[in-house]
Structure 1
Amino acid sequence: MKGVPSMTKEQIRARVEALGEWFHNLDLNGVQTAPGHFLGDYPRFKFERFAHALPADLSGKSVLDIGCNAGFYSLEMKRRGAERVLGIDTDERYLAQARFAAEVCGVADAIEFREMSVFEIAALRERFDLVIFMGVLYHLRHPLLALDLIHEHVARDLLLFQSMQRGSTEVEPVAGDYPFWETEIFERPGYPKLAFVERRYAHDPTNWWIPNRACVEAMLRSSGFEIVSHPEEEVYVCRRRELTERERGDRAVYPLH
């Protein structure tokens, strides 16, 4: 992707500063958007750990980037040749950053960015070959519903998923059922656990739920996603599968149509 030749580094830097604080550190023709990020060169350093797990050629494929922020993953998927890329976010400031980044990279007309919540995706009435759901789950008050909606309405094949995790990284097999008086399993490190954050974690009031590894994998399976690979400690590549009638019937909450 070629950048916009008419913009100097000084002009790009001025726009970057005018668009406020950036969470994605992007390289826009030599100008970094978040050089002092507390995580380092984020999210590039993380992406480099699992980039190999995604198709190198996305020609003819469609991508939905949920919680796209400043568009790092949307831009990367376009670089891999995706035919259609749609990034959605609820923060208009992030969307403005993403649109500017796409403009500088010369793909402003090739990537669509839209203000939308994961809970509104049924309105898209479109399925995508790859759905990216990175760094969003733990910011939601209703995380499992979000996964159900993704499965029901927008996922056609692959899901790229990431969530912050805390607690044990052990994973124990889960039985089909447990007797009412069984309580010891809830103390086991490898049993799925989802911690609720009533106030704040890491100074962020939007961090609501933090799962352990077993919980992440259980939630993905329960929502109809088969884990294909686990290329990075918090990242999963999954494939959508059809739910059985019993699985659909066991659900207490159904995705909205």
Structure 2
Amino acid sequence: MTQINYDYLLHALEDIALADWAKILPEQIAAGLSEKRYGDLAGWKASLAKLPSVSTQHIELTDAVRIGTSDDCDETTRATIKSILQELIPWRKGPYFIHDIHIDTEWRSDWKWDRVLPHLAPLKDRLILDVGCGNGYHCWRMLGAGAKRVIGIDPSPRFIVQFHMIKHFAGAHHPVDVLPLGIEDLPEKLHAFDTVFSMGVFYHRRSPMDHLLELKNTLRPGGQLVLETLVIEGESGDVLVPEGRYGMMNNVWFLPSCDTMISWLRKMGYQNPRVVDICPTTTEEQRATEWMRFHSLPEFLDPNNPQRTVEGHPAPIRAVFVAEA
């Protein structure tokens, strides 16, 4: 019976000069996975516990997240696995291939990874933090790129259980974990990580400068920040602050122009901030699927003018920024 377990990580933190964090982390994890706080969590954990044990002969993390093949189990077992995985719908980040079961997630997160990876300092042997990582898809890709250890954080317990469903098949020994925490839960001034990712988080933060400072405080001197966020076209100083919703999301606060974001990064003490990719979000990259059956980007755009959201704002454009601490 698979359960959520962080023993490997707690031991590893002691070996990478994060022993002080390891002392408080069990209490933080317990708070983040409180069944009293999250009424659906008990059911999600029960789904995790039902997953059958399957011998996995092959794992691919470099070009995809592909764990096992159909040869590892019979059709009845594969049908059982798929049914259990679907008890955690919606699956938003992916795709995953689990014993040839295609978890066709809302987001083609692999496309984002392909855009980001060429612009990074090599991830080999790096200690990495992924802030707001969802179910940990990009964490697995970071591991596939050679990272020494990857720690993702996300306060949503559904995503935590989804991550552990994937890890059930990959194996608990892999040096990748997703914790039920927000960045505000991290110890102050860790200055520990070689690379820190914040992808799809910035525009959800009420205070952009505070978020940039929080990220900077997790990085070792010279460590690299990788920040991906929604932006608008415009000049330095231009920022969209939606009064209501943006793309039907009610927690979108700041959409800067690229020049504005670079200015903010400089102001917060980052070195050599630069934009390395700008890409409009398409309905091929974000859409409803069998694994995410609710409204998605096609419903968030004006049906008469897809260059605008349903609220009349500019349609989503995402940019990737890189800088050093």
TM beyond 0.5: yes
Q: Deviations over 1:26-63 (max 9, x none)?
A: 2223333335x3xxx5211122123122244512x200
Q: Deviations over 1:107-161 (max 9, x none)?
A: 5642121111122223584510010111100011122101112212445401111
User: Unpaired runs of 5+ in structure 1?
Assistant: 169-189, 241-257
1:239 maps to: 324
Equivalences for residues 212-227 of structure 1 within 5 A: 212-227=257-272
Q: Please state whether the residue corresponding to 1:25 is helix, strand or coil.
A: coil
Distance 1:216 1:76 in 2: 26
Of 167, 173, 190, the match for 1:102: 167
Please say if 1:148 is aligned against 2:213.
yes
Please say if 1:10 is aligned against 2:93.
no
Of 15, 18, 21, the match for 2:90: 21
Contact 1:24–1:33 (Cα < 8 Å) also in 2:
no
Contact 1:192–1:214 (Cα < 8 Å) also in 2:
yes
Contact 1:69–1:89 (Cα < 8 Å) also in 2:
yes
Question: What is the root-mean-square deviation of aligned Cα atoms in Å?
Answer: 2.4
User: Unpaired runs of 5+ in structure 2?
Assistant: 1-57, 60-66, 279-318
| Cα offset, 1:229, TM superposition | 4.9
Distance 2:89 2:188 in 1: 30
| Cα offset, 1:222, TM superposition | 1.5
Equivalences for residues 61-76 of structure 1 within 5 A: 61-76=126-141
**Stretch deviating more after TM superposition (125-134 or 50-59):** 50-59
Q: Please state whether the residue corresponding to 2:186 is helix, strand or coil.
A: helix
2:245 maps to: 200
Contact 1:75–1:102 (Cα < 8 Å) also in 2:
no
For residues 106 and 6 of structure 1, do their structure 2 counterparts lie closer, same or farther at Cα, with a shift above 3 Å needed?
farther
1:79 maps to: 144
Of 108, 111, 115, the match for 1:49: 115
Distance 1:138 1:85 in 2: 23
Contact 1:28–1:105 (Cα < 8 Å) also in 2:
no
| Cα offset, 1:91, TM superposition | 1.0
**Stretch deviating more after TM superposition (143-152 or 153-162):** 153-162
Q: How many residues align?
A: 214
2:7 maps to: none
Of 156, 163, 166, the match for 1:91: 156
Contact 1:192–1:213 (Cα < 8 Å) also in 2:
no
Q: Please state whether the residue corresponding to 1:197 is helix, strand or coil.
A: coil
Contact 2:96–2:103 (Cα < 8 Å) also in 1:
yes
2:224 maps to: 158
For residues 226 and 81 of structure 1, do their structure 2 counterparts lie closer, same or farther at Cα, with a shift above 3 Å needed?
same
Match of 1:143, as an amino acid?
P
Q: Please state whether the residue corresponding to 1:122 is helix, strand or coil.
A: coil
Q: Please state whether the residue corresponding to 1:96 is helix, strand or coil.
A: helix
Equivalences for residues 115-194 of structure 1 within 5 A: 115-122=180-187, 125=190, 127-156=192-221, 157-168=223-234, 190-194=235-239
Distance 1:76 1:33 in 2: 16
| Cα offset, 1:65, TM superposition | 0.5
| Cα offset, 1:165, TM superposition | 0.7
Counting aligned pairs with the same residue, the percent is 21
Q: Please state whether the residue corresponding to 1:164 is helix, strand or coil.
A: strand
Q: TM-score, normalised by structure 1?
A: 0.74
Q: TM-score, normalised by structure 2?
A: 0.60
1:176 maps to: none
Distance 1:222 1:150 in 2: 14
2:286 maps to: none
